[in-house]
């Protein structure tokens, strides 16, 4: 069995130059609670389809003897990931291990980029990327490194609000990753529309984003084009509410000695509790909006306009 598996539908679309949008699976298997994860999967895939593109969820999927890193999974496989039983969280560094050990693995942003890129997809959509952690400035997500070496369009709502956003923006600049605001001049705060962190470039249409990405490829740039879109108005939270919730969650994590990989899910759950579920609705709304924008960009790239 090959370590890479591309569904027949997605493979045909890529071969014919039709628009495809890759989606991550970690947000479904680890990031969102049941049943909100099913809602997210349905909303993201429908948003891509409404834009005229094909959605392709990335994951490591177990087989008879070994697993495959997959672009496009079956309905039955998706059910296993939504149930979350026995599903690993797989970053880029874990892909080969998960395949060799025949494990189901939900892929992070970094792992999803690895799979989508080698399969030939050009557009990927997620909620928020990883970045520099607040309490440990030398602890940063592998997402940043993968963004620095994967030439794809990545649509997101910035980095997760629990992170050090100024430091994350600085690291992206150092790594040569172009951050393009979509109809905004500043970095969104994931749950919030504003942060006060100014961006150096913006675009106001999917066609403009596609033009920037084509120019980047023509110049031999190997980094991703990171397109950041604010959360929709109807679900965005006030910045003061999010700041207070994150600070409270960080203090709780310090008191309880939460460290390492356990920090992010702990903080996100604490923020959801502190905002009485409003952050969950914001997360669902921005995932859908980002998938729709990614679909429009994929269509623009396929049309060459």
| Eight-class DSSP state of 25 | S
267 has a pLDDT exceeding 80: no
Predicted pLDDT of residue 2: 84
Predicted pLDDT of residue 288: 98
SS3 at position 291:
helix
pLDDT class of 137 with cuts at 50, 70, 90: low
What is the pLDDT averaged over residues 266-281? Answer: 85
Q: Within 10 Å of residue 65's Cβ, how many Cβ atoms?
A: 7
pLDDT class of 1 with cuts at 50, 70, 90: low
What is the pLDDT averaged over residues 5-33? Answer: 96
List 146, 160, 186, 296, catalytic entry: 160
Among this protein's residues, is 160 annotated catalytic? yes
pLDDT class of 248 with cuts at 50, 70, 90: confident
Q: Which CATH architecture has domain 4-303?
A: 3-Layer(aba) Sandwich (3.40)
pLDDT class of 200 with cuts at 50, 70, 90: very high
Report whether 24 contacts 126 (CB < 8 A): yes
129 has a pLDDT exceeding 90: yes
Retrieve residue 134's tokens.
Answer: 């607040």
287 has a pLDDT exceeding 90: yes
What is the pLDDT averaged over residues 157-183? Answer: 96
pLDDT class of 245 with cuts at 50, 70, 90: confident
pLDDT tens by residue, 216-228: 999 999 999 999 9
Note the pTM of the prediction, 2 decimals: 0.95
pLDDT greater at residue 126 or residue 276: 126
265 has a pLDDT exceeding 80: no
Mean pLDDT of the chain: 94
Report whether 278 contacts 232 (CB < 8 A): no
120, burial (CB in 10 Å: exposed 0-12, middle 13-18, buried 19+): middle
127 has a pLDDT exceeding 90: yes
305 has a pLDDT exceeding 60: no
Give the rounded percent of residues in the chain with a pLDDT score beyond 70. 98
Indicate the domain borders of the chain. Answer: 4-303
Predicted pLDDT of residue 269: 83
**What is 5-33 written as a DSSP string?**
EE-HHHHHHHHTT--EEEE-SHIIIIIS-
Report whether 210 contacts 302 (CB < 8 A): no
pLDDT class of 122 with cuts at 50, 70, 90: very high
Among this protein's residues, is 89 annotated catalytic? no
């Amino acid at each position: 069995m090959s370590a890479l598996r591309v569904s027949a539908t997605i493979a045909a679309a890529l071969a014919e130059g039709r628009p495809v949008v890759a989606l991550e699976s970690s947000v479904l298997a680890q990031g969102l609670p049941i049943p909100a994860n099913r809602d997210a999967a349905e909303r993201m895939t429908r948003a891509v389809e409404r834009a005229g593109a094909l959605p392709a969820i990335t994951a490591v999927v177990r087989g008879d003897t070994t697993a495959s890193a997959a672009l496009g999974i079956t309905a039955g496989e998706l059910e296993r990931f939504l149930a979350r039983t026995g599903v690993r969280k797989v970053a880029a560094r874990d892909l080969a291990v998960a395949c060799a050990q025949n494990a189901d693995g939900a892929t992070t942003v970094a792992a999803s980029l690895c799979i989508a890129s080698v399969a030939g997809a050009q557009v990927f959509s997620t909620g928020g990327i990883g970045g520099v952690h607040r309490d440990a400035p030398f602890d940063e997500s592998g997402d940043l490194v993968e963004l620095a070496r994967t030439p794809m369009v990545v649509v997101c709502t910035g980095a997760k609000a629990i992170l050090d956003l100024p430091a994350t923006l600085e690291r992206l600049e150092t790594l040569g990753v172009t951050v393009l605001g979509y109809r905004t001049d500043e970095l969104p705060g994931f749950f919030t529309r504003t942060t006060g962190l100014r961006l150096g470039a913006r675009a106001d249409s999917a066609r403009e984003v596609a033009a920037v990405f084509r120019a980047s490829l023509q110049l031999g740039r190997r980094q991703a084009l990171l397109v950041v879109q604010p959360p929709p108005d109807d679900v965005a939270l006030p910045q003061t509410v999010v700041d207070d919730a994150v600070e409270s969650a960080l203090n709780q994590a310090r008191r309880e000695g939460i460290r390492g990989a356990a920090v992010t899910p702990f903080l996100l759950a604490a923020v959801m509790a502190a905002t009485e579920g409003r952050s969950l609705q914001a997360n669902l709304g921005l995932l859908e909006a980002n998938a729709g924008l990614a679909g429009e960009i994929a269509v623009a790239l396929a049309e060459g306009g």
